[in-house]
């Protein structure tokens, strides 16, 4: 941000109540996440409140980082924050938006508001690609299009620009009205109208009206011809209908020919022509149109490093956000920045260095051309950034831990969405426990558990003590419930502050002995009661004996009582689940009468959270549901898949009629056939039972059946009539074949598939 506000400016805008005024420094930037603050001098901190986190809890941390100016909405003790200024307002987000609105009004150049169900970020980035050499362009960073993201995007506006591209996204009624008021776009682009968030609106007509509200004051609004608008709607937004025939002059030279790219490009080119880009300019830009991954790629690197691969461009404004993201993930790791300089970026080196230095990384390395990394970097979080011309993807690939073409993509944005979906079913006071056993269901413990902690989850659950120990060594501070605590792990439970589930008198006795030996009192334990699963757990009839032991042994204290539902995904009958819930309620009620302190009660799992929300008790447990997998049709429409399993072709071969393929020659070609070999097999988790046409993959959205036997490290697929080659991308699990469909083919369930994907399959994390 390049702000320049005085305290009096902020006071005039916010109209808030001044609690104390002892700091008069100029405000140069705004912050709401302490993890992104490198130097708090001249920073105004907003204590935002949300579904999972309350910014007021981080005021002390912000103060320690040098922040002295705060906007709050809750009453707090400010007596210990010397030389600080506090302004209290009704709603900190609304106040931040008001500042953004005021900031936007300072600039007279055109603001382009971009909205739609999908394609906003792609359209924005491609417009930037077409315009940046002719215009000075500001654009929303990454996919910043929420109520908060739009405000932050507007605060990036500055006088040295000719045009700004601002994404505007909504998920609920009345949100667009607020965004339109603060953005006040000059021109509009409506990318698409689909089903995203439709469940939050009364009907499709209301949903469309809300979207169109973005363009209320626009001089012109470009909308794709697939969006059906009536004449009144078109008139209100000064609509210009865009057809894909708009691309006829340049379609043959476009690097992408898929339907989505053509759809979005038609809007981009129409707007570029509107801004008088000549045909020659359009053709030149179209030839070099970049492929947009759109999100930073985070992966495990060699020598204990974590790599942030953000090598699409070296835009000065975007660099700031990349550095903030690195700071967010770093925690105790050293931060290293590697910058690839082409000729254009070399001219900006002074400005680039100034931004990087403000974040105080341990090391910054500048590279030119194909210059190699000559020094060894260990145990660091490395941000790799540079333009496409600098070819920094090669540098990023050098840092990958494993050279394996098969990888698992974990979409943390989808995971965040799914947490919000489940949270929407809960009462404000209900706690949320996230299960991260079996390496977070195969998605990777380190990144996922750390991500969940930052989302404001209250508890983590693991199967065994060693999983909890691993989390503690990674720096996880949340309470951790060990579901299957064994005698061999009791010492580790105590050493690493893990909370064991106790399911039998023998186990309870052994744990108490361990506590006596360690000199511990009032150690938290969780009682597991069997209400019908018929696995581990005390019987309800054990209640009196349990209470007698607890009253006699001061070494332990009940933290929670819980049970497992056996039939919560049975949509034909709720009887058994309600029986379990009633048994559980009775047990807890009677236990409460026997002991003189409160304890947490929880029985609902992922499937039960939406169906039995009247029985939340004090906490719910969220497992595979947060990855987007459920039997509940209501949830399926709003949850997003988190796991994508991908690979690429190693080799393509022509098989003549009569030839056989694979072990035991179980496939014999009935005609000349083209096959592709994929480097994934049953050792990776692609089940051998998927041999001989039972299993399949997708290439360029085309179904490709498995032929022959699945091998340990590879499989063969039929690609007859497809234009593929070595390196062509392969989807194993994704949008064409869901996790549920893959599991059905393997005659199992998503749990087994996720947890059986080998650790040698590289994990890549997407966020931003």
What pLDDT sits at residue 388?
Answer: 62
| Span 649-677, average pLDDT | 95
Q: What is the C-alpha separation between 263 and 247, in angstroms, rounded? A: 10
Residue 418 CB partners (closer than 8 Å, separation 6+): 625, 626, 627, 628, 639, 640, 642
Q: Compute the C-alpha angle 124/127/131, nearest 5°.
A: 140
What pLDDT sits at residue 403?
Answer: 54
pLDDT digits (tens, 9 = 90+) for 307-332: 998 876 677 767 877 888 888 788 77
Q: Which of 120, 437, 601, 646 is catalytic?
A: 437
* Contacts by 458-462, CB closer than 8 A, 24 or more apart: 458/431, 458/432, 458/433, 458/619, 459/431, 459/432, 459/433, 459/434, 459/619, 460/433, 460/434, 460/435, 460/436, 461/433, 461/434, 461/435, 461/436, 461/437, 461/621, 462/435, 462/436, 462/437
Q: What is the C-alpha separation between 484 and 1, in angstroms, rounded? A: 49
- Rounding to the nearest 10 degrees, give the CA dihedral for residues 185, 191, 196, 199: 60
pLDDT digits (tens, 9 = 90+) for 113-149: 999 987 898 899 999 999 988 999 999 887 788 899 9
CA-closest candidate to residue 700, choices 394, 122, 120, 261: 261
- Mean of pLDDT over the chain: 90
What pLDDT sits at residue 294?
Answer: 46
Mark whether 285 is an active-site residue. no
Q: What is the C-alpha separation between 373 and 481, in angstroms, rounded? A: 43
User: What tokens appear for 318 in the block?
Assistant: 């975007």
| Span 327-353, average pLDDT | 84
What are the distances in angstroms from CA 512 to CA 517, 549, 552, 561? 9, 10, 11, 18
pLDDT digits (tens, 9 = 90+) for 705-764: 999 999 999 999 999 999 999 999 999 999 899 999 999 999 999 999 999 999 889 888
Q: Is residue 81 scored above 90 in pLDDT?
A: yes
Mark whether 2 is an active-site residue. no
Whether 154 contacts 107, CB under 8 Å: no
Whether 324 contacts 34, CB under 8 Å: no
| Span 446-465, average pLDDT | 91
The reply to whether the predicted model has a pTM over 0.85 is no
Using DSSP, state whether 14 is helix, strand or coil: helix
Q: Which of 663, 729, 747, 759 is catalytic?
A: 663
Strands 715-718 and 220-224: unpaired
Whether 166 contacts 183, CB under 8 Å: yes
What pLDDT sits at residue 253?
Answer: 83
pLDDT digits (tens, 9 = 90+) for 213-224: 999 999 999 999
Structural domains in the chain, CATH included, are 7-95 (3.40.1390.10), 107-287 (3.40.1190.10), 296-401 (3.90.190.20), 410-636 (3.20.20.10), 643-767 (2.40.37.10)
What pLDDT sits at residue 259?
Answer: 77
Question: Which parts of 347-464 fold into alpha helices (H)?
Answer: 349-358, 393-398, 412-423, 437-441, 445-454
Phi, psi of 511 (to 5 degrees): -70, -40
User: What tokens appear for 722 in the block?
Assistant: 């497809």
Phi, psi of 618 (to 5 degrees): -105, -20
């Amino acid at each position: 941000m390049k702000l320049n506000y005085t305290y009096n400016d902020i006071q005039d805008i916010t109209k808030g109540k001044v609690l104390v005024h002892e700091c008069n420094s100029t405000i140069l930037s705004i912050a709401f996440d302490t993890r992104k603050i490198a130097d708090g001098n001249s920073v105004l901190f907003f204590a935002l409140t949300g579904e999972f986190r309350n910014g007021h809890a981080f005021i002390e941390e912000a103060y320690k980082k040098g922040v002295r100016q705060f906007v709050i909405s809750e009453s707090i003790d400010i007596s210990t924050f010397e030389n600080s200024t506090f302004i209290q307002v009704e709603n900190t987000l609304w106040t931040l938006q008001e500042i953004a609105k005021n900031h936007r009004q300072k600039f007279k150049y055109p603001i382009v508001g971009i909205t739609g169900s999908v394609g906003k970020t792609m359209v924005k980035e491609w417009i930037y690609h077409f315009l940046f050499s002719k215009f000075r362009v500001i654009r929303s960073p990454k996919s910043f299009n929420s109520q908060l993201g739009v405000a932050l995007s507007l605060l990036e506006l500055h006088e040295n620009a000719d045009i700004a591209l601002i994404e505007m996204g909504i998920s609920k009624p009345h949100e667009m009205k607020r965004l339109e008021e603060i953005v006040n776009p000059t021109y509009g682009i409506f990318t698409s109208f689909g089903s995203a968030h439709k469940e939050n609106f009364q009907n499709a007509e209301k949903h469309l009206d809300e979207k169109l509200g973005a363009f209320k004051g626009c001089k012109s609004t470009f909308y794709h011809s697939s969006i059906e608008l009536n004449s009144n709607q078109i008139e209100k937004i000064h609509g210009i209908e865009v057809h894909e025939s708009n691309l006829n002059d340049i379609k043959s030279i476009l690097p992408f020919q898929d339907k989505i790219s053509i759809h979005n490009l038609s809007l981009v080119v129409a707007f570029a022509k509107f801004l008088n880009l000549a045909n020659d300019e359009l053709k030149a830009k179209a030839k070099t149109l970049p492929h947009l991954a759109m999100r930073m790629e985070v992966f495990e690197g060699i020598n204990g490093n974590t790599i942030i691969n953000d090598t699409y461009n070296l835009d000065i404004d975007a660099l700031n956000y990349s550095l903030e993201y690195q700071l967010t993930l770093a925690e105790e790791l050293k931060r290293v920045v590697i910058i690839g300089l082409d000729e254009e970026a070399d001219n900006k080196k002074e400005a680039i260095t100034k931004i990087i230095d403000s974040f105080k990384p341990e090391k910054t390395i500048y590279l030119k051309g194909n210059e190699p990394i000559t020094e060894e970097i260990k145990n660091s979080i490395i941000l790799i950034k540079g333009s496409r011309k600098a070819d920094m993807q090669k540098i990023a690939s050098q840092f990958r831990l494993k050279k394996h073409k098969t990888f698992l993509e974990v979409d943390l944005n989808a995971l965040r969405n799914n947490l919000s979906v489940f949270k929407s079913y809960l009462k404000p006071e209900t706690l949320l426990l996230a299960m991260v056993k079996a390496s977070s269901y195969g998605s990777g413990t380190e990144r996922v558990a750390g991500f969940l902690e930052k989302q404001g989850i209250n508890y983590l659950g693991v199967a065994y003590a060693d999983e909890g120990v691993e989390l503690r060594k990674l720096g996880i501070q949340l309470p951790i419930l060990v579901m299957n605590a064994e005698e061999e792990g009791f010492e580790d439970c105590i050493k690493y502050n893990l909370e064991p589930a106790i399911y039998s008198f023998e186990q309870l006795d052994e744990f108490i002995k361990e506590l006596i030996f360690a000199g511990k009192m009032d150690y938290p334990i969780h009682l597991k009661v069997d209400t019908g699963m018929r696995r581990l757990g005390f019987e309800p009839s054990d209640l009196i004996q349990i209470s007698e032991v607890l009253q006699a042994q001061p070494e332990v204290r009940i933290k929670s009582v819980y049970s497992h539902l056996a039939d919560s995904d049975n949509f034909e009958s709720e009887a058994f689940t309600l029986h379990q819930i009633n048994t559980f309620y009775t047990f807890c009620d009677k236990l409460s009468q026997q002991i003189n302190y409160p304890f947490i009660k929880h029985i609902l799992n992922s499937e039960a959270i939406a169906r039995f929300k009247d029985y939340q008790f004090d906490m719910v447990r969220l497992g595979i549901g947060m990855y987007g997998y459920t039997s509940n049709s209501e949830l399926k429409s709003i949850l997003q898949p988190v796991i994508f399993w991908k690979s690429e072709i190693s080799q393509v071969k022509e098989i003549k009629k009569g030839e056989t393929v694979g072990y035991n020659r179980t496939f014999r070609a009935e005609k000349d056939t083209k096959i592709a070999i994929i480097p994934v097999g049953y050792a990776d988790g692609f089940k051998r039972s998927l041999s001989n046409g039972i299993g399949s993959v997708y290439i360029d959205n085309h179904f490709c059946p498995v032929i022959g036997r699945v091998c340990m490290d590879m499989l063969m697929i039929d690609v007859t009539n497809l234009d593929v080659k070595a390196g062509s991308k392969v989807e194993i699990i994704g949008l064409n074949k869901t996790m549920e469909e893959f599991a059905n083919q393997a005659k199992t369930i998503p749990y087994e598939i996720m947890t059986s994907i080998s650790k040698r399959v590289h994990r890549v994390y997407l966020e931003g």
